[in-house]
Amino acid sequence: MDLLEMGRLAKAAAAKMNCMDTGTKNRGLLATAAALVAHGEELIEANKIDVERAKEAGMSPSLVDRLQLTTARIEGMAEGLRQVAALEDPVGEVLSMWNRPNGLTIGQKRVPLGVIGIIYESRPNVTADAFGLCFKAGNAVILKGGSDAITSNQAIVKVIRDALEAEQIDADCIQLVTDTSRETAAKMMKLNGYIDVLIPRGGAGLIRAVVENATVPVIETGTGNCHVYVDESADFDMALDIIENAKTQRTGVCNACESVVVHSSIAAAFIKEMAVRLSAKNVEMRGDERAVQAEASMKPATEEDWGTEYLDLILSVKTVDSIEEAIAHINRYNTGHSEAIVTKDYHNAQKFLNEIDAAAVYVNASTRFTDGFEFGFGAEIGISTQKLHARGPMGLKELTSTKYIIYGDGQIRG
Amino acid sequence: MDLLEMGRLAKAAAAKMNCMDTGTKNRGLLATAAALVAHGEELIEANKIDVERAKEAGMSPSLVDRLQLTTARIEGMAEGLRQVAALEDPVGEVLSMWNRPNGLTIGQKRVPLGVIGIIYESRPNVTADAFGLCFKAGNAVILKGGSDAITSNQAIVKVIRDALEAEQIDADCIQLVTDTSRETAAKMMKLNGYIDVLIPRGGAGLIRAVVENATVPVIETGTGNCHVYVDESADFDMALDIIENAKTQRTGVCNACESVVVHSSIAAAFIKEMAVRLSAKNVEMRGDERAVQAEASMKPATEEDWGTEYLDLILSVKTVDSIEEAIAHINRYNTGHSEAIVTKDYHNAQKFLNEIDAAAVYVNASTRFTDGFEFGFGAEIGISTQKLHARGPMGLKELTSTKYIIYGDGQIRG
């Protein structure tokens, strides 16, 4: 189907969803969850085609694993939809309402965004997850997954559409772009008038391509060059636990720690202990001159290291002479994602919280908590690293807009 | 100065402003207001150069008028800055704060956006207005005015910078792009990493150019194809007052009415009365077949009329057989700005408020109220017609972002 026609159908479906009651939306989500489980074997069969093709093309085992659907993963998708059904509906909330001296009553009401475009890479479960969140917030969604997962995505979308139709819900609220060419992706990024916001989910290359080419509004997500700053007064054990967790609990994620910044007055002692702790986890460390002096096994870091999101068992180590220098270094090299200080000092904790420019700033906790579920939102469509509209983990509320509703009695402007 | 260097300076100034206390910001605004008045003659001299050049180039008298600075207009700029100083500082407000089962305390705090880019056209007073709002919300601003007003803008910015420096405030928080070429404008639209949001203020052409070319996040403002729907049960006098006000009180503005939609059961009688009222104000009407039947002096409307923002004493008139048809027509042709219904019917009033997709939806009031001052915000940087970040009149709060601040006690993720 032509992309423009998809846009038209999605927009028409979004207009119907605009005022859809919560009960209907939840019924749709639960029916969809049940249908995914019921059609599990078909989905696995379709997925096998993608998996075989990927293996033949020599895809790495870890990527093949991401692509694969299993009964457990299908149950996971269904459970995700059930959980979204259980979340509070954000639409319709009146955020504030006030009277003007001329008698007008003005309210600001939460409404759906309209049509959301999602461009993502290989994991097919994103198809169901993204649909569920967009749908609960009253939006239509146009999905464009990676070419690797196209057969799986088509099968998942067909099951969802059939389940919605059986519930008398307009199935056009979910559209899948089946042409996975770059030209079509480029057109989708310029579908102004049909797509209200585009959210890319994937690696840095995909996100950069969307930011550079889209003319529809974009929410930039994902890249995280996250730091842990170990202050002069830090409890060493706490700092070591936090760094080990933030660096090694999962390495390929955007909220993992990529760089440790250490106050020079404790650097020699702390870095030695850190080296023991992290070498046991096979972490390679790259440090500045003083860091290397403290731990001779460390490689020297280059300028490039400070700006690198390794997504791997590698950590850069920077020494600083003051919290001011730490803040300046972090604000220069971070990507606006998650930053932490470990300290016992009240003033420094507050200073770090105030002056670090990032979506999430932590005192004495791991950067790994930047996540919609960990924040208690019950869901997450991504983590925004831009400052417009949404910053940090995005849940259902971030998939809405507002409108002003004004009650008058014949008022005209003088 | 090179644009990249401007970006660097603005970003450095924004980092300082990030935590600037309200008192310092207000002192800066009041000092700036006083300086503009004190240097009024210099500003008028500089402005004369622009005005002379514009006249020689054959600029229309109404545009020359927009360009002109007078003592009264300079006082107006100063008064605007004083009013902004009196507004509540939006920065630092903690919107919500909660505890998680693991003991983390998470708060969402309002922070400045960072560096705001404003691209605007000929009116030089926008220079002071935009600076004042961005500054109070803790942002640095990079301004690019029209080439017509360049000498005036340079003079205004010099006065503002000198006044800030005298108050020991980093004057780099206001930057003026003096190269008014299209190439420089295009570069400014792609200054990712330095500009956090770009707000175009001006005509449809400027806004389209920014939306199509910018890679930094944009807030789309301004175009308004606004409708007044006269329902079956409308009070004729109220409807006539509202239409006359919305169409003729000011014609060149985005919240003026461009089209009236009338229920067919009252069309014949109402349109006759409307023709009498509006012909006295020299409004040209263009209607569909039934509208022309009701009032033979009316020209027939073409398809193009329904989508046209005239910004002039012209009005299109559409007849419909139901409120559903009215809503569908408006949602098809509107630009998401301001829409009004005139009705006595409770159900139809609520239906219109719920189903119309626009920034501001009115019952029984003129669309002309869509304005930051009329809404009680005390200021306005523009009217957003997009759904991301801000929708409708934008005041100080819309010039901020948020960040999450997280207080821990050694928590790591399991």
- Out of A211, A355, A365, the one facing B406 most closely (by C-beta) is A365
Partner-chain contact A100 B374, CB within 8 Å: yes
Strand order across the beta sheet in which B338-342 lies: A94-99, A105-112, A400-411, B360-365, B338-342, B226-230, B257-263, B314-320, B284-287, B299-300
Chain-centre distance for alpha carbon A51: 25
Nearest chain A residue to B384, by CA: A403
Partner-chain contact A19 B354, CB within 8 Å: yes
Partner-chain contact B365 A403, CB within 8 Å: no
Check if A331 contacts B (Cβ < 8 Å).
Answer: yes
Q: How many residues does chain B have?
A: 414
| ipTM for the assembly | 0.94
Q: Which of A233, A241, A404, A409 to mutate to test the interface with B (most CBs of B within 10 A)?
A: A404
Q: Which of residues 35-74 of A touch B (CB under 8 A)?
A: none
The fold for domain A226-369 equals Aldehyde Dehydrogenase; Chain A, domain 2 (3.40.309)
Residue B88 near residue B106 (C-beta atoms within 8 A): no
- Out of B217, B370, B409, the one facing A388 most closely (by C-beta) is B217
Which amino acid is it at B96? S
Residue B378: Cβ-neighbour burial (10 angstroms; 0-12, 13-18, 19+):
middle
Q: Which of A231, A250, A389, A397 to mutate to test the interface with B (most CBs of B within 10 A)?
A: A389
Q: Give the predicted TM-score (pTM) of the model.
A: 0.93
Chain B residues in contact with A221 by the CB 8 A cut-off are none
Enter the tokens of residue B328: 């569908």
User: What value, to the nearest 5°, has the Cα angle with vertex B37 and ends B32 and B43?
Assistant: 95
Residue B69 near residue B47 (C-beta atoms within 8 A): yes
Partner-chain contact B15 A249, CB within 8 Å: no
- Which one, of B172, B141, B195, lies nearest residue B4 by Cα? B195
Residue A153 near residue A176 (C-beta atoms within 8 A): yes
pLDDT in the model for residue B250:
93
Partner-chain contact B408 A211, CB within 8 Å: no
Query: By three-state DSSP, how is residue A289 classified?
Result: helix
- Out of A219, A391, A410, the one facing B364 most closely (by C-beta) is A410
The fold for domain A3-220+386-407 equals Aldehyde Dehydrogenase; Chain A, domain 1 (3.40.605)
Residue B105 near residue B98 (C-beta atoms within 8 A): yes
Partner-chain contact B197 A388, CB within 8 Å: yes
Enter the tokens of residue A19: 């005022």
Encode pLDDT of B122-158 as tens digits.
789 999 999 999 999 999 999 999 999 999 999 999 9
Number of neighbouring beta carbons within 10 Å of residue A188: 24
Nearest chain B residue to A353, by CA: B405
Check if A401 contacts B (Cβ < 8 Å).
Answer: yes
Cα–Cα distance between B178 and B176 in angstroms, integer?
6
Chain A residues in contact with B391 by the CB 8 A cut-off are 401-404
Chain B residues in contact with A374 by the CB 8 A cut-off are 100, 413
pLDDT in the model for residue A304:
97
Residue A172 near residue A9 (C-beta atoms within 8 A): yes
Q: From the CA of B236, how many Å to the nearest CA of chain A?
A: 11
Beta bridge partners of A284: A314
Check if B236 contacts A (Cβ < 8 Å).
Answer: no
Beta bridge partners of A226: A257
Partner-chain contact B413 A245, CB within 8 Å: yes
Cα–Cα distance between B411 and B414 in angstroms, integer?
9
Return the C-alpha torsion angle A147, A151, A157, A160, nearest 10.
-150
Chain-centre distance for alpha carbon A163: 27
Chain A residues in contact with B363 by the CB 8 A cut-off are 406-408
- Out of B18, B215, B407, the one facing A355 most closely (by C-beta) is B18
Chain A residues in contact with B361 by the CB 8 A cut-off are 403-406
- Which one, of B270, B254, B374, lies nearest residue A408 by Cα? B374
Check if A389 contacts B (Cβ < 8 Å).
Answer: yes
Enter the tokens of residue A55: 């293996």
Residue B222's pLDDT band (cuts 50, 70, 90)? confident
What single DSSP character describes residue A122?
S
Check if A91 contacts B (Cβ < 8 Å).
Answer: no
Residue A182: Cβ-neighbour burial (10 angstroms; 0-12, 13-18, 19+):
exposed
| Residues of chain A with confidence (pLDDT) below 50 | none
Q: How many residues does chain A have?
A: 414
Check if B323 contacts A (Cβ < 8 Å).
Answer: no
Which amino acid is it at A269? A
Helices and strands of chain A, counted as H and E runs? 15, 16
Beta bridge partners of A317: A260, A287
pLDDT in the model for residue A111:
97
Chain B residues in contact with A244 by the CB 8 A cut-off are 412
Residue B148 near residue B120 (C-beta atoms within 8 A): no
Q: Which of B134, B237, B387 to mutate to test the interface with A (most CBs of A within 10 A)?
A: B387
pLDDT in the model for residue A149:
95
Chain B residues in contact with A307 by the CB 8 A cut-off are none
Chain A residues in contact with B402 by the CB 8 A cut-off are 391-392
Residue B35 near residue B159 (C-beta atoms within 8 A): yes
Q: Where are the strands (E) in A103-144, listed by range?
A: 105-112, 115-120, 140-144
Check if B106 contacts A (Cβ < 8 Å).
Answer: yes
Residue A360 belongs to what H/E stretch? strand A360-365
pLDDT in the model for residue A13:
97
Check if B357 contacts A (Cβ < 8 Å).
Answer: yes
Partner-chain contact B197 A354, CB within 8 Å: no
Check if A113 contacts B (Cβ < 8 Å).
Answer: yes
Residue A137 near residue A148 (C-beta atoms within 8 A): no
Chain B residues in contact with A98 by the CB 8 A cut-off are 376
CB-based contacts of B85: which residues, under 8 Å, 6+ apart? B25, B26, B29, B30, B33, B136
- Which one, of A233, A227, A225, lies nearest residue A327 by Cα? A227
pLDDT in the model for residue A58:
95
Check if B397 contacts A (Cβ < 8 Å).
Answer: no
- Which one, of A185, A172, A171, A175, lies nearest residue A216 by Cα? A185
Chain-centre distance for alpha carbon B20: 26
Phi and psi based region of residue A328 (left: phi greater than 0; alpha: psi -120 to 50; beta: remaining): alpha
pLDDT in the model for residue A180:
82
- Which one, of B326, B334, B382, lies nearest residue B358 by Cα? B334
3-state secondary structure chain B: CCHHHHHHHHHHHHHHHCCCCHHHHHHHHHHHHHHHHHCHHHHHHHHHHHHHHHHHCCCCHHHHHHHCCCHHHHHHHHHHHHHHHHCCCCCCCEEEEEECCCCCEEEEEEEECCEEEEEECCCCHHHHHHHHHHHHCCCEEEEECCHHHHHHHHHHHHHHHHHHHHCCCCHHHEEECCCCCHHHHHHHCCCCCCCCEEEEECCHHHHHHHHHHCCCCECCECCCCEEEEECCCCCHHHHHHHHHHHHHCCCCCCCCEEEEEEEHHHHHHHHHHHHHHHHCCCCEEEECHHHHHHCCCCEECCHHHHCCCCCCCEEEEEEECCHHHHHHHHHHHCCCCEEEEECCCHHHHHHHHHHCCCCEEEEEECHHHCCCCCCCCCCCCEEECCCCCCCEEECCHHHEEEEEEEEEEEECCC
Enter the tokens of residue B9: 């300076």
Check if B95 contacts A (Cβ < 8 Å).
Answer: no
What b/e sequence results for A36-70 when a residue is b if at least 16 CB atoms lie within 10 Å of its CB, and e otherwise? beebbeebbebbeebbeebeeeebeeeebebbbbe
Nearest chain B residue to A235, by CA: B410
Enter the tokens of residue A104: 């007008």
Nearest chain A residue to B239, by CA: A410
Nearest chain B residue to A239, by CA: B410
Tokens 């999602």 belong to residue: A118
Check if B392 contacts A (Cβ < 8 Å).
Answer: yes
Enter the tokens of residue B319: 């007849």
For chain A, the domains span 3-220+386-407, 226-369
Return the C-alpha torsion angle A23, A219, A190, A123, nearest 10.
-70
Check if A219 contacts B (Cβ < 8 Å).
Answer: yes
Check if A324 contacts B (Cβ < 8 Å).
Answer: no
Which amino acid is it at A109? K
Size of interface A-B (CB pairs under 8 A): 197
Cα–Cα distance between A87 and B316 in angstroms, integer?
45
Residue A60 belongs to what H/E stretch? none
Q: Which of residues 153-192 of B touch A (CB under 8 A)?
A: 192
Residue B243: Cβ-neighbour burial (10 angstroms; 0-12, 13-18, 19+):
buried
Asked whether the predicted pLDDT for residue B1 surpasses 80, the reply is: no
- Which one, of B226, B220, B261, lies nearest residue B337 by Cα? B226
